[in-house]
Structure 1
Amino acid sequence: MSGAFSLGDVVRRFIESSYPDASSQDWTVALSGGVDSMVLTRLLKPIADEWGVSLSAVHVNHGMRAEAARDAQFAEKACNELGIPLSLKTISLHDVPPELHKSVEADARRLRYQAIVECVLGVQNVPGSSGVPRGKADSNPSGGQVMGDSVENNKVHKPVVFLAHHADDQVETVLLRLLRGTSVEGLRGMQPVREWQGIRWMRPLLTVSKSQLVDYASSNGIDCIQDETNFDTHFTRNYIRHEVIPKLHHVQPNLAEVIGRLTDVLEAEDRWLAEVSQEHFRTLVQKRGKDLVIHTERLLSIPLPLQRRVVKIILYCLASADWTFDHVDSILRLCRESGASALVHLPGRVRVRKSYNELHFLRVDSRKSDIGSVTGAGQLKWRLDEQSMCRLQWSGSEQSWTFRCDRWNGREALGLLLADRYQALFPKGLEVTIRSYRAGERMKVLGLQGSKKVQDLFVDAKVPRHLRAEWPCFYVGDDLVWVPGVARSTLFLLDEFQDGWHVIAQSVPS
């Protein structure tokens, strides 16, 4: 029983220190039926009974395995034996919109958390539930509200959801984020307590190893089920778990403890950086109508890590998207560039407009046209993304342009596009700059040998002389890659069967 007491004490003290008012709230435990969640449920039950708390469980059927129905029946039987109400939720990966699709693992996680939220709050189609409760995606780092969303009162007691992630899961998470590229914030790993979607999510087992949970289950006769897909090393997390971490244990036997200390240190440092960044946000950012405005020189005067965080705070004030390093970096590059006017298009209908020495952040109304009016010396920056669109009109121009970006399936026939110069394909991960060409500029034209002057390309395409100076040209960095309606370059092409972005250009007289 000593093992039973020690684990129970870990959970009890965690709750008492993390959420003193937890006993006044309803508790829900996410129950898969595996050893981790079964042990956590067994540990929570006597605490809930002692404190007079209502404890329930939720089981999510992902519909991905033949044994899914068996797992649901097991969870139902276990809850009946413990006297715990159980909610069963079924999800389908087909419910993930194409523009939000990432991977099987990520999509399943997204839908699983959304199902838990719907179950706990008793609502359907939770708005803004595109993320999961782990990083800044689960809270606004400015401490304020997302524009257009309701303000959440932090003084209101929130329902509690318990998750059974343990120390070994934390190791996997940190390694995954390190391999994918992350910041100090990401290397903090999973947080023990996190508020998201009006719920307090708690992970009381992050200091407990998998082996301790297995030993506890064995010593106390706790039945559990095994998910066979956890051994499929085609999934990245499983590969790290079964192939990478065992080798790391040869180098560092106390890997979980070392990672745990790292996340504790980074959590404290990240919290301090967040506080400093929020102070800079309050002093540097002004609200003018619907725009959030910051002076470029003042932003660039603070250290680079704080620049990035202030920009990210602004973005989260506008939309709860998965803001990445690339998004933030594109804005800081815009800030440093010498041009007087430019525009960056970002996900979530967020636009960042440079006007001389100011950056204007805004979220456009989806019901209105988004027209970027740019001076003759200006430029527009556009990060290619699913179903994104921008409209461009240079000051005084006789016509405006509409550009629409959609996903391109590499299995489609490339030949269908080759004859239409108003359509182009690009690899994923590109940010393009749209501006007018410069005198003497040349382009390596697809289908021709060598390069050709852009001026001559306009002549060949019979573009009227008075329209050439305001004709939009697409650049990646300093490379001219496409003149819509005229020619496509040999740079940044798609390989056969490669997925990418399909951009369609349309010119409309003003």
Structure 2
Amino acid sequence: MQVREIVRRFLQQHVDAQNTLILGVSGGLDSMAMLHVMQALSGERPPLFRSLLVVHVHHGLRELADRDADFVRSYCQTQGIACKEVRVTVDAQSKEGIEAAARTARYAALTEVARAYPHPVIALAHHQGDQVETVLLRWLRGAGLHGLSGMRAVSQRAGVLLIRPLLVMSKEALAAYAHQHGVPHVEDETNADDRFTRNFLRRHVVPQLARLQPEIGAVTARLTETLQDDDDYLRAEAQKLRESVVDEPTAGLFRIRRKALIAAHVSLQRRLIQILLNCFALTGWSSRHIEAVRHLAETDGGESSVQLPHGVEAWRSYENLYIGHAKPRTGQDEASMVVWNPAQMHRLTVDGSTVRWRFFAVRMRRRDVLRHHFTGLWRIYVPVGVQLEIRLGVSTAVRVRPLGLNGSKKLQDIYTDKKIPRTFRSQWPIVAVAGQVVWLPGLVRTEVETVEGTDDGDVFVIVAHMNRAAREEIGTFLRETRRMISE
């Protein structure tokens, strides 16, 4: 089947007359052949797509980069094709390597341009030979099933459709097409530089493999198609697992029920962790990172954590595993304070990021409070007219003097003893009177006396309630006090 006919059928299946095709064109043989084919098909009736836009990404890394940009611009002007040049800055010191950094910058530039057009579709000129090199590269890096499934002919990137209409074709077929139609192109001089792994594979490894399997491109195409089907199935199963074991109490934070996760097949565990990590960044995750998170989930104990790329952290907090952006470990969170006068307002709501606290004030005779034992860790009573200072985000290094304890204790130690998950600690209210801590609802009351005098006179009984989702999250500790909460 002819190159042009293959591309026509591909476009009929994946593109329609509303789409603007954004062609990534470097000026090399592959992308120029794709441009020539698309230009020829632009006159089809009915139309296969709305319009063409050529985008040349200038990386600024090669001496002849300006020559390539001038070539693409000149060709498009001659042919009457819309063309846009985008200059990007590539991080030459990237841990992923300069090739990967350039690719990341290139894809980001193409996506940004595409979003400015109606119904955009990005088209890239990868072919069978590129797929062989990609699979080999990922194999050398220890990729799993998803990585070894290679590039997809149709995918999404940052919400924009990305197609590779030449992926089923060999390099030889494209070269023959370019020769037949006199398609001009430029040569990238760095393609002969064996310091780049992809070049070494293309120039030395793939030819040796082709001696053993002359149809290595077609064989790899069939292999990746099969692996992509398997990958899709496992991804769908992992999404089902996500729905049953993961929730997102706040943006950028995932909470996973550990026991339910590790009860699933290890393949689904890895896939789910990969899906969650991809929510923070699409690249930069290795099998080492995924296994570190799995080990964290499998290990019983108190709290532990692992640092991951992109400022992401995974931590175990008793029965749950969390994945989210790591917080700076300064030892002092930014505290917020609400001043509450129960005599003026009998109810108060204080919101943390995932916890909602409600405080209620009931006016009673002091002797009735004592007679009916209206005391406990979820209640205190204070004089009428007192103002309560309710703080969130207090440093865990702050010390208080719990009632009945001969001495002081750090908030950190109180939280640990009560098995309060780390994600809740900065959201746990510290209640003070005149700057002195009197109460951590549900945890401790302190030795600070808030009511003095005789049994006569009125006081406010202050009751604290936590929202249901947070109560269930904390688990064992709150089950022991649930009766008090519900009264």
Q: Please tell me the TM-score bracket, short chain as reference.
A: 0.5 to 0.7
The separation in 1 between residues aligned to 2:124 and 2:238, in whole angstroms, is: 30
Matches within 5 A, 1:156-167: 158-167=119-128
Matches within 5 A, 1:112-131: 112-122=106-116
Report the CA distance between 1:320 and its aligned residue: 5.0
Give the SS at the match of 1:223.
coil
Post-superposition CA distance 1:42-83 (Å, at most 9, x none): 111122232162111011222222222221221122212321
Q: Which amino acid in structure 2 is aligned with residue 271 of structure 1? A: D
Percentage of matched positions with identical amino acids: 34
Gaps of 5+ in 2: 334-394, 400-408, 414-487
Alignment pair present for 1:14 and 2:10: yes
Q: Which amino acid in structure 2 is aligned with residue 16 of structure 1? A: Q
Matches within 5 A, 1:262-301: 262-289=223-250, 291-301=253-263
Q: Which residue of 1 aligns with 2:288?
A: 326
TM-score norm. by structure 1 comes to 0.62
**Quick one: structure 1 residues 107 and 314, their matched pair in 2 at CA, closer, same or farther if it must change by over 3 Å?**
closer
Q: Which amino acid in structure 1 is aligned with residue 12 of structure 2? A: E
Q: Which residue of 1 aligns with 2:147?
A: 186
Alignment pair present for 1:42 and 2:26: no
Alignment pair present for 1:347 and 2:344: no
The separation in 2 between residues aligned to 1:281 and 1:306, in whole angstroms, is: 10
Give the SS at the match of 2:137.
helix
Alignment pair present for 1:32 and 2:26: yes
Matches within 5 A, 1:360-509: 360-364=322-326
Whether the 8 Å contact between 2:92 and 2:101 is mirrored in structure 1 is no
Post-superposition CA distance 1:244-293 (Å, at most 9, x none): 01111111111011111110000000000001110011011133355432
The separation in 2 between residues aligned to 1:182 and 1:27, in whole angstroms, is: 31
Q: Which residue of 2 aligns with 1:204?
A: 165
Q: Which residue of 2 aligns with 1:302?
A: 264
The separation in 1 between residues aligned to 2:175 and 2:245, in whole angstroms, is: 52
TM-score norm. by structure 2 comes to 0.64
**Quick one: structure 1 residues 219 and 318, their matched pair in 2 at CA, closer, same or farther if it must change by over 3 Å?**
closer
**Quick one: structure 1 residues 371 and 196, their matched pair in 2 at CA, closer, same or farther if it must change by over 3 Å?**
farther
Post-superposition CA distance 1:100-149 (Å, at most 9, x none): 542121122122222222333349xxxxxxxxxxxxxxxxxxxxxxxxxx
Q: Which residue of 2 aligns with 1:76?
A: 73
Give the SS at the match of 2:155.
strand
Q: Which residue of 1 aligns with 2:214?
A: 253
Whether the 8 Å contact between 1:37 and 1:164 is mirrored in structure 2 is yes
Whether the 8 Å contact between 1:321 and 1:347 is mirrored in structure 2 is no
Post-superposition CA distance 1:195-251 (Å, at most 9, x none): 112321110001110111111111111111111111111110000000101111111
**Quick one: structure 1 residues 197 and 324, their matched pair in 2 at CA, closer, same or farther if it must change by over 3 Å?**
same
**Quick one: structure 1 residues 110 and 286, their matched pair in 2 at CA, closer, same or farther if it must change by over 3 Å?**
closer
The separation in 1 between residues aligned to 2:152 and 2:247, in whole angstroms, is: 32
Question: Which is higher, the Rg of structure 1 or of structure 2?
Answer: 2
The separation in 2 between residues aligned to 1:56 and 1:296, in whole angstroms, is: 49
The separation in 2 between residues aligned to 1:237 and 1:338, in whole angstroms, is: 43
Report the CA distance between 1:313 and its aligned residue: 2.4
**Quick one: structure 1 residues 292 and 88, their matched pair in 2 at CA, closer, same or farther if it must change by over 3 Å?**
closer
Give the SS at the match of 2:23.
strand
Report the CA distance between 1:342 and its aligned residue: 1.4
Whether the 8 Å contact between 2:96 and 2:284 is mirrored in structure 1 is no
Q: Runs (4+) of structure 1 moved beyond 4 Å?
A: 318-321, 368-372, 391-400
Q: Which residue of 1 aligns with 2:56?
A: 59
- Which shifted more, 339-348 or 214-223? 339-348
The separation in 2 between residues aligned to 1:394 and 1:8, in whole angstroms, is: 72
Gaps of 5+ in 1: 124-156, 373-390, 401-510
Q: Which amino acid in structure 2 is aligned with residue 241 of structure 1? A: R
- Provide the aligned length of Structure 1 versus Structure 2: 339
Report the CA distance between 1:319 and its aligned residue: 5.2
